[in-house]
Structure 1
Amino acid sequence: MAPSSVFAVGFVLAFLSLCFSTASADIVETSFIVKNLTVNRLCQNQVITAVNGSLPGPTLRVKEGDNVIVHVFNQSPYNLTIHWHGVFQKQSQWADGPEFITQCPIRPGGNYTYRFNLTGQVGTLWWHSHVQWLRATVHGALVIRPRDGQKYPFVKPYREDTIVLGEWWNANVIDIENAALATGAAPQISDAYTINGWPGDLFNSCRSISNNTYRLDVVPGKTYLLRIINAALNTQFFFKIANHNLTVVGADAAYTNPYQTDVVVIGPGQTTDVLLTANQAPGLYYMAAHPYASAVGGTFNGNTTTAIIAYQNATSQTTTPILPILPAFNDTPTAHKFSSNLTALVTSPFWSSVPQTVDEDMLVTVGLGLSPCGSNQNCSGIFGQRFSASMNNHSFALPSTISVLEAFFRNVSGVYTDDFPNQPPLVFDYTNNSNSFNQDGLLMAPKSTSVKKVKFNSTVQVVFQNTALIGVENHPMHLHGFNFYVLAQGFGNYNATEASKNFNFVNPQERNTIGVPVGGWAVIRFRANNPGVWFVHCHLDVHLPWGLAMAFLVENGGTPESTLPPPPADFPKCT
């Protein structure tokens, strides 16, 4: 038998083993019809792109170990992909979804079927478009429950509910993004925030409360599992429920040790599972969210979105809902306390210990900068230039004729370079913006499609270091294809000698998205046991097209189970 045939048989056997490893695994199959939809928000009709006629889109409910098949039909006027945020995509790397990283987009009128398995993950993930700003309205929850015969490691909730935080513009989001990119300026800020698609009572000038506000009815004494997802494009949130405490039990589909809090801090891309016990006097209580605006001097929408927790027999006609007191917009101490106090539940069946030996040790600067305006152009960024962003002085540019993954698989040259460095080109006072403009060559990072090549099963440690070249803020950094351990986080310039003394090797939280503290750093570590090309980027979508991204290229491991399989037959073409 030819070697190619041997590997083909191996791929089939590996896939069948993955898909049918237990009798309890099911096949969950559905269709996403993506097309324009007219909705009414903030007193006006607006045409949006949506899935199956709803905002948010449909929730996918599955069990751990299930195989998922989603047929996506693009009936919208825009290119489209779907990213399954947080799904490992082992042996289904072509289904990850970021445009021109793992696939070419689904063109208008086209379709593509995503197939993947959900072994080894329980909790809340989500899905969203990964083309331009479409994820503002093309998104939904992915709920993974324990497989039959297994239980949550916490009290069984009376009911579960999904709380999707979003962002709303009274305009076409693609037009807003394109207008900003054309001038190099910062884009128009949003007009409102939403909970499950609705702005809430504080925007009820033209709609009754019942039509403008999401409502969760609760039974006194019962405990509810709330699955909170931040689907906003550019906003991190403080989230509270008036007069109620919450217990965090999961983050990014990984169990946490129970953490008591009255406020949740959640960045774009992150999910947080909390237990809510209805233990207050019967009445109406607002759940509310407003921005954690970490950027000093930055502009943002300061509105508050609300939904209602309604105890039995409480109505808005007889009871005024109680509004929680949210932290100040710039309350970094509260944000840091929340994000740094979560720890992993090591008794989870999916927990594995932190690898102690590091093969790739990286310090990666992340932050904003500028790019040249270009001749005969009128740019609106600082100093008359264009806003840009970079990691280790590389500003990422997407290819346009083939995805990076396909170029890797087919050995196509000229699409990307594998020269992303382990260190920034210059050591300087990263978080001091008083003299940062004097750092020659750093303010205007060159554009490139640069990836970091690592060997299969190597251990990678990354220190994300904020910079203050132009402003400073909390950056939610998302890694595709893996969970990572958050070993430590802090403020100022990273000092390896001092920081390593406080590394948590016992029960660090597992995440796929980490908010790198404003003016600070975060240390993550992961095992590169998944071959393919895996995007790393800021989940503030304003920063992604500016270039705040890179990718890991994980080499094949030499066995069918550790080798990138060929693309599926219906894989979208770029031309």
Structure 2
Amino acid sequence: MAAWVRVLLLFTCLLPGMVESDLRRYKFNVVMRNKSRLCSSKPVVTVNGRFPGPNIYAREDDTLLIKVVNHVNYNISIHWHGIKQLGTGWADGPAYITQCPIQPGQSYVYNFTVNGQRGTFLWHAHILWLRATVHGAIVVLPKPGVPYPFPKPHQEAVFILGEWWKSDVEDVINEAMDLGVAPNVSDAHTINGHPGPISSCVGQGGFDLGVMPGKTYLLRVINAALNEELFFKIAGHKLRVVEIDAAYVKPFDTDTLLIAPGQTTNALLTADLPIGRYQVVASPFMDSPIDIDNRTATATLHYTGTLPSTPAVLTDPPSRNATATATKFAHSLRSLNSAEYPCRVPREVDHHLLFAIGLGLNRCSTCANGYRVVADINNVTFAMPSVSLLNAHFFNIPGVFTDDFPGDPPTPYDYTARRVVNMGTTTGTRLYRVRYNASVQVVLQGTGMIFPENHPIHLHGFNFFAVGKGLGNFDSEKDTRSFNLDDPVERNTIVVPSGGWVAIRFIADNPGVWFLHCHLEVHTSWGLKMAFIVENGKGPNQSLLPPPNDLPKC
């Protein structure tokens, strides 16, 4: 089905005392566009006819008003990935979780403040598989006069990594769901919407970034791909990592970044090599035995003064199963933990949760092989409701959900042992309830059902600290002794390693209903998701406000 979105996004940044000239006004018109740069005439859903969509720029503590008008046959909603939405859960965006989707011909104004946050974020559609083409960057700068905790770069550049299908992505996932099998993998990777030079697509040279010799640049790298972790590398150059998921880290040097879907990484690049052209690559990492698109996307970094005929210096991307490279990068991440940016990791824990996550098989009489691939947390395959969970919670609408999500697997087993069996998962819309300001520890335990696989898990409404990580089954007696409670990395999306576990902690200081799900879109489609209910507190500004008047209805 050829679907076109026409979305109008209008937002204004407001600060007390700002004069008219300081207001930030954007007007985004979403129009249909053919993807000619990939030599395809297939129409795609876009914002302002652009792929990726426009970048949003703001400053810490700015308020954004973003009006989204839907002119397509698909329902749509937009999620502001990594923005905490303190007190503004109605603006978070996941369809049927915090809002009903915006129906064709309707509109909704997302109204929220970027409280105490700065850095690189991602906005994307949060319904169906539309985020394949409906996504862009959110760059939140520090307050005026507040410097970065690293040398000021000469300029900044955004790199958005993505995937491309020749087929309509909704057809891809719908066919897979009907047959009960895995969907077709993507046909290409992209860097800022370009796959790089393609022999069958004349004139498409790929994205090109010009730099001046001796200058330092801040690269804001975002993985907007649907289903694949991606390596990012620039021929011959070192990258100094300074920020992860909009949280500052202790700087370290590397030649390769690893970024999972939904994650962002800021790195400093100094143009200190001979004048010339240098290849930029984005290539997949998959530490599991499944089919992926192995096409490497390419771009170019060129120094001022380079002759157009100068051939680019090439680089070999890491192999698709370069686990050692991935592990080294992950182990290098530590919170900055400075006086200005302290690491406030919870020392005491009120809720100790163990979430066993993975894949499974359920019997299906209409599916291709008699089974349907499903995904689950603690043996629960999440069933999306027909009305917004936040609306049902706020207005006490009965029958929409239960608050009995299990805090542990119902039947403990050897989680990471390879098992190809039918677990017969249960299906339900079950949430986990916590009181306001409670401290929560979640151990995300990978499993070997069907096969072990990495899972990038995203928590809405909060940042969290990754206090521990390991291979095999989590041992509450042994593994907690090695938890890092001094400078663990702060994130909003964390990768559960293949055949292993990761432990996260956060303070539930944001009342509302908050989604937790795998950011591999195929796993979300299969049901690897759940939600927390955070109750209202008793003090001022500790309660969820009523919904806005234009909140979409189901």
TM exceeds 0.5? yes
- Matching residue of 1:10: none
One of 493, 511, 514 as aligned partner of 1:534 = 514
- Matching residue of 2:104: 108
Contact 1:476–1:515 under 8 Å retained in 2: yes
Secondary structure at 1:558's aligned position in 2? coil
- Matching residue of 2:348: 357
1:54 aligns with 2:29: no
- Matching residue of 1:39: 35
- Matching residue of 1:248: 241
- Matching residue of 1:12: none
Could you tell me how far apart the structure 1 residues matched to 2:434 and 2:325 are? 36
The gaps in structure 2 that reach 5 residues or longer are 1-12
Could you tell me how far apart the structure 2 residues matched to 1:432 and 1:483 are? 31
Compute the displacement of 1:44 (Å): 2.4
Could you tell me how far apart the structure 2 residues matched to 1:198 and 1:571 are? 36
Contact 1:34–1:72 under 8 Å retained in 2: no
- Matching residue of 2:10: none
- Matching residue of 1:406: 391
Indicate the percent of aligned positions where both proteins have the same amino acid: 48
Secondary structure at 2:90's aligned position in 1? helix
Residue type at the aligned position of 2:438: S
- Matching residue of 1:464: 444
1:332 aligns with 2:323: yes
The gaps in structure 1 that reach 5 residues or longer are 1-17
Q: Which moved more, 1:539-548 or 1:442-451?
A: 442-451
Compute the displacement of 1:312 (Å): 1.3
Contact 1:476–1:539 under 8 Å retained in 2: yes
Contact 1:103–1:405 under 8 Å retained in 2: yes
- Matching residue of 1:8: none
One of 120, 123, 139 as aligned partner of 1:124 = 120
Secondary structure at 2:477's aligned position in 1? helix
- Matching residue of 1:307: 299
RMSD of aligned alpha carbons? 1.7
1:95-494 alignment to 2 at 5 Å? 95-201=91-197, 203-208=198-203, 211-295=204-288, 297-317=289-309, 319-347=310-338, 349-374=340-365, 377=366, 379-380=367-368, 384-400=370-386, 402-433=387-418, 436-437=419-420, 443-494=423-474
Could you tell me how far apart the structure 1 residues matched to 2:191 and 2:297 are? 7
Cα deviations by residue, 1:310-368 (Å, 9 ceiling, x for unpaired): 01122442x21122222111111211211122001112634342111100000100100
Contact 1:396–1:550 under 8 Å retained in 2: yes
Could you tell me how far apart the structure 2 residues matched to 1:229 and 1:63 are? 19
- Matching residue of 1:94: 90
Contact 2:53–2:134 under 8 Å retained in 1: yes
Residue type at the aligned position of 2:216: T
Cα deviations by residue, 1:415-461 (Å, 9 ceiling, x for unpaired): 1111111110111111110xx346xxx72211111111000000000
- Alpha-carbon distance change, 424 to 227 in structure 1, aligned in 2, over 3 angstroms: same
Contact 1:123–1:143 under 8 Å retained in 2: yes
Could you tell me how far apart the structure 2 residues matched to 1:352 and 1:170 are? 44
Contact 1:29–1:70 under 8 Å retained in 2: no
Contact 1:362–1:462 under 8 Å retained in 2: yes
Residue type at the aligned position of 1:224: Y
- Alpha-carbon distance change, 253 to 29 in structure 1, aligned in 2, over 3 angstroms: same
User: 1 or 2, which has the higher helix percentage?
Assistant: 1
Number of equivalenced pairs:
541
Residue type at the aligned position of 1:561: N
- Alpha-carbon distance change, 68 to 27 in structure 1, aligned in 2, over 3 angstroms: farther
Residue type at the aligned position of 2:232: F
- Alpha-carbon distance change, 212 to 74 in structure 1, aligned in 2, over 3 angstroms: farther
Secondary structure at 2:35's aligned position in 1? strand
Could you tell me how far apart the structure 1 residues matched to 2:416 and 2:340 are? 40
Could you tell me how far apart the structure 1 residues matched to 2:377 and 2:525 are? 13
- Alpha-carbon distance change, 388 to 348 in structure 1, aligned in 2, over 3 angstroms: farther
- Matching residue of 2:9: none
Secondary structure at 1:154's aligned position in 2? coil
Compute the displacement of 1:28 (Å): 4.0
Contact 2:122–2:138 under 8 Å retained in 1: yes
Secondary structure at 2:478's aligned position in 1? helix
Could you tell me how far apart the structure 2 residues matched to 1:339 and 1:158 are? 28
Residue type at the aligned position of 1:273: N
Secondary structure at 1:570's aligned position in 2? coil
- Alpha-carbon distance change, 429 to 285 in structure 1, aligned in 2, over 3 angstroms: same
Residue type at the aligned position of 1:545: S
Residue type at the aligned position of 1:501: R
Compute the displacement of 1:24 (Å): 9.8
Contact 1:28–1:66 under 8 Å retained in 2: no
Compute the displacement of 1:235 (Å): 0.8
Question: Under a length normalisation based on structure 1, what TM-score does the superposition of the two structures give?
Answer: 0.91
1:518-557 alignment to 2 at 5 Å? 518-557=498-537
Contact 2:14–2:64 under 8 Å retained in 1: no
Secondary structure at 1:545's aligned position in 2? helix
Contact 2:14–2:23 under 8 Å retained in 1: no
Contact 1:32–1:73 under 8 Å retained in 2: no
